[in-house]
């Protein structure tokens, strides 16, 4: 049987080990929002996707771009301090309809085209490293019509 002082030390060690396992661990997701423009015009209908790169853990995440704005809530947000490839798509109606298909109002369903250069989506050259802090991050994305590289600076 162990001496009382040994039992006390064992109990204290057990409490410390359990406490060390409590609390947040791993990366912290952060809410992110911003504006997306293409040639100084807001992207009215599109998507934004953040894909982890360069050793950043976690899944891809993103949301819709509506009237030039996007918001990804913290529960779906990318990780603070993580590096991400950013993909943006934008759709606009092309005036064509699908035969025998109708929208919710009964009108013929209209087709849309993705019009951004592939360097901003399927072959994206956009990359951002988020600040290593929790709290809301603002990331505006001013896309150039030429599909050239731009520096993304989170605030």
Are the beta carbons of 89 and 38 closer than 8 angstroms?
A: no
Are the beta carbons of 109 and 97 closer than 8 angstroms?
A: yes
Q: Please, what CATH class does the domain formed by 26-143 belong to?
A: mainly beta
First and final C-alpha spacing in the chain: 60
Query: Cα–Cα distance between 128 and 155 in angstroms, integer?
Result: 11
For residue 134, the model assigns a pLDDT of: 85
Output DSSP code: residue 92.
Answer: E
Q: Tell me the β-bridge partners of 93.
A: 112
**Structural domain boundaries in the chain:** 26-143
What is the chain's mean pLDDT, rounded? 87
Structure confidence by residue, pLDDT tens digits, 68-78? 999 999 999 99
Q: Quick one: what percent of the chain has pLDDT higher than 90?
A: 64
Mean pLDDT (whole number) for 92-103: 89
Region of 39 on the Ramachandran plot (φ > 0 left; ψ -120 to 50 alpha; else beta): left
Instruction: List, in sequence order, every beta strand (DSSP E) within the chain.
Output: 32-38, 41-42, 45-52, 61-66, 69-72, 83-102, 108-114, 126-129, 137-138, 141-143
- Residue bearing the bigger pLDDT, 148 or 81: 81
Residue 140 pLDDT > 80: yes
Q: Quick one: what percent of the chain has pLDDT higher than 70?
A: 84
Structure confidence by residue, pLDDT tens digits, 14-53? 554 444 445 556 789 999 999 999 999 999 999 999 999 9
- 0.75 exceeded by pTM: yes
H/E stretch holding 131? none
For residue 17, the model assigns a pLDDT of: 47
Are the beta carbons of 113 and 91 closer than 8 angstroms?
A: yes
């Amino acid at each position: 049987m162990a001496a009382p002082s040994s039992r006390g030390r064992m109990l204290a060690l057990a409490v410390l080990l359990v406490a060390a396992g409590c609390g947040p661990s791993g990366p912290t997701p952060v809410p992110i929002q911003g504006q997306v423009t293409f040639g100084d015009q807001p992207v009215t209908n599109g998507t934004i996707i953040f894909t982890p790169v360069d050793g950043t853990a976690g899944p891809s995440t993103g949301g819709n771009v509506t009237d030039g704005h996007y918001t990804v809530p913290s529960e779906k947000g990318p990780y603070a301090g993580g590096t991400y490839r950013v993909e943006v798509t934008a759709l606009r109606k092309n005036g064509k309809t699908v035969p025998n298909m109708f929208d919710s109002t009964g009108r013929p369903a209209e087709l849309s085209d993705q019009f951004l250069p592939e360097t901003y989506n399927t072959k994206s050259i956009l990359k951002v490293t988020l600040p290593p802090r929790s709290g809301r991050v603002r990331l505006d994305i001013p896309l150039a019509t030429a599909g050239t590289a731009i520096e993304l600076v989170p605030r």
